Amino acid sequence: VGSEMCIRDRMYRIYQTLFCAFVLIGCSTQPSKLEKALELSGENRHELEYVLSHYSQSTSDSLQLKAAIFLIENMPGHHMLTNKSITRYINTMDSLYPDMSNVMKKAVYNIPLKNLNRHGKLKKIEDIEVIKGNYLIQHIDNSIQMWNKCFWLRQLSFEDFCEYILPYRTAYEPLLQSDSTLYSWKTVLESFKYYHYVPTSISDVKSIQRNLLGHSDDMYFRGIKIPTLSDSNYKFDCLDVCYYELSRLRTTGIPAAIDFIPGWSYRNGQHYWRVTIDPIYANDNSRDMQNPKTAKVYRMSYSHNPIPVSDGKDSIPPLFQNPFIKDVTQQYIKVSDIEVEWKKSSDSTPLYLYLSVFNDLAWKPIAWSAVKENKASFQNMGRDIVYLPTYYNGGCIINNGFPFLLDINGKVRNLIPDKKHPIHLKITRKYPLNDYKMDWAESLKGCYIEASDHPDFKNADTIYTITRTNPDLNYDTIILKQPASYRYWRICKPNQIIMLGDWQFFDSNLKQIKGKAMGSNENDRSVFNAFDNDILTFSASASWLGIDFGERAEIKMMKYIPRTDGNGITSGHEYELSFYDEEGWKTISTQQATGESIEFNSVPSDALFWLKDNTDGKEERIFTYENGQVIFW
């Protein structure tokens, strides 16, 4: 009888818990979401029911109950990744750094998980199947207390609190408790109270929070030893820093999230940055983005967001298999909505269309939309970008028509090749310049070249003054009217940094003369990079750098190049020009460059082009050709 009474009592508490949940959050769709989460918990269900029951005993715990419901409803899909290799890695790091805070661990434990193919098959352990009730209760109690007592959070909505402070995990690390000493909101709060300081915004809190807590984690950013990955010190990348910052800020009472660009639309790669959520500002994070031109910006979330559902036949891009990303593009840039028609009569209509951008030498899906009545609607697309409508047929990505340019004013221009009106192309680069690359070249302007027979350059003669550099970051050639014979040569720009990629010397027979590198600072090892015939290594020396030939050498010609990305046209390399036709990329011509430019005759106008360097290099961009000029996209 006693056993039956316990069972009935437990069932009553469960019923009471669910009833309270229904009353608090509405009876339309949310209860089914909670029940679905409970069903997915399997044998761990009693731990979650314990949490809900714990907060259903008193009306004073209504916020805690709402917080618990939020965490449990959105818990399916949150998980840790592990295998024997990852376990060894974690044990090694714990052994090497026994004093590492849990805040730092949330970054460090995720380092090997950023490349999932490197560590073999990984086991996914769902939080909802293993999380303990007491763990959740402790975390929720601490978080609610933080929200109530940190006066800088008084204007933060409960919804934003749940999304940007409450979550207990960062990415795929094991479940870790919040640090209770060093990284504590109580530490920050007590410091403010001590100084009688009342911050006016969350941004004010963020600006002084790190100094209040000290710099005990700085050692990890200077270089952390990870034997299982590399023999050298590991340098945190932008995502590592974001994981650390996210945990640090949330633990100390600052709402934060990670925003990211899954693929730049004008260059290779992607980018992540940390944002703070401040109710006072509409958006105070644009500067963290580094460059505002992009197709899409997404935010990592704890709550679920809509994703395409596979029909079992056509692939879904990995980006959109993740329900924990939210589109926040319009918070950063001007956007437009685009409607795309289904144009393939030969294939059955897919469930979804995608807009792709050219990234890492391939079309990369960046936005998705369901197809309805042969049309797909895409919201909040970045402007001044070339898109290609795509879809999946099985595991293959296929174009749906031609690429188009969404211009800066939000107008669409289809890039359909006009073969009836061919044009002539002259190309000097395969990848666009930017402002900091131009600075590399500008650092050489005003430099003067001296020569002497004395190592201190006493009685030096000025041989040449650099007034211009190659606009494509390629070589410039200096041919002397009369050969000059000296032992020591240097390039000078007092009190300035000289960004020099390569410097070569030739005699009257155009034979290259080699020597020993020298510089204004004997500890500057970069000077050797200026004389290694490798344009992708460079010297960043102050005031001057030079060369000692060991004896007098007669010099007739010099070639120099600023620090460069190596994306100018290189003589001897084989280049392939393609344009985007109805069925994809079509090669126009392949030829070997004989100089620092390459030309193609009778190519279609109004087309989208791609110049490949088949000899070397991975940085290449699509472009259009307008008014005799290459426009990279």
Question: Averaged over 336-349, what is the pLDDT?
Answer: 89
Predicted confidence band of residue 203 (pLDDT cuts 50, 70, 90)? confident
pLDDT of residue 34: 95
Mean pLDDT of 185-191: 87
Do residues 441 and 469 touch, judged by C-beta distance below 8 A? yes
Q: What is the mean pLDDT of residues 213-218?
A: 74
pLDDT at 553 over 50: yes
149 vs 625: CA distance, rounded Å: 60
551 or 198: which carries more pLDDT confidence?
Answer: 551
Q: Give the CA radius of gyration of the chain.
A: 31
Q: Which two tokens stand for residue 272?
A: 């992540």
Give yes or no for residue 288 having a pLDDT over 70: no
What pLDDT sits at residue 292? Answer: 65
Per-residue confidence at 475, pLDDT binned at 50, 70, 90? very high
pLDDT the model gives residue 476: 95
SS3 387: strand
Quote the tokens at residue 371.
């197809």
Position 178 pLDDT exceeds 70: yes
Residue-level pLDDT at 131:
98
Please tell me the predicted confidence (pLDDT) of residue 119: 57
Residue 201 scores a pLDDT above 90: no
Higher pLDDT, 277 or 213: 277
Among 576, 568, 566, which residue's Cα sits nearest to residue 611? 576
Give the count of beta carbons closer than 10 Å to the beta carbon of residue 302: 18
Q: Which amino acid is at 129?
A: E
Mean pLDDT of 292-321: 94
Q: Mean of the pLDDT values across residues 363-380? A: 97
pLDDT at 560 over 80: yes
Type of residue found at 478: I
Report which of 51, 53, 43, 21 is spatially closest to residue 34, judged by C-alpha positions. Answer: 21
Span 549-573, average pLDDT: 96
Burial 34-65 (b: 16+ CB within 10 A, else e): beebbebbeebbebbbbbbbbbbeeeebebbb
**What is the model's pLDDT at position 214?**
63
**Which two structure tokens, joined as six digits, stand for 217?**
């984690």
What's the rounded Cα separation, in Å, for the pair 554 and 455? 17
Supply the pTM of this predicted model: 0.88
- Supply the mean pLDDT for the chain: 90
Instruction: Say if CB 472 and CB 570 are below 8 A apart.
Output: no
Confidence check: pLDDT of 82 > 70: yes
In this predicted structure, what is the pLDDT of residue 220? 87
Q: Give pLDDT, residue 240.
A: 94
pLDDT of 29 higher than 50: no
**Is pLDDT above 60 for 20?**
no
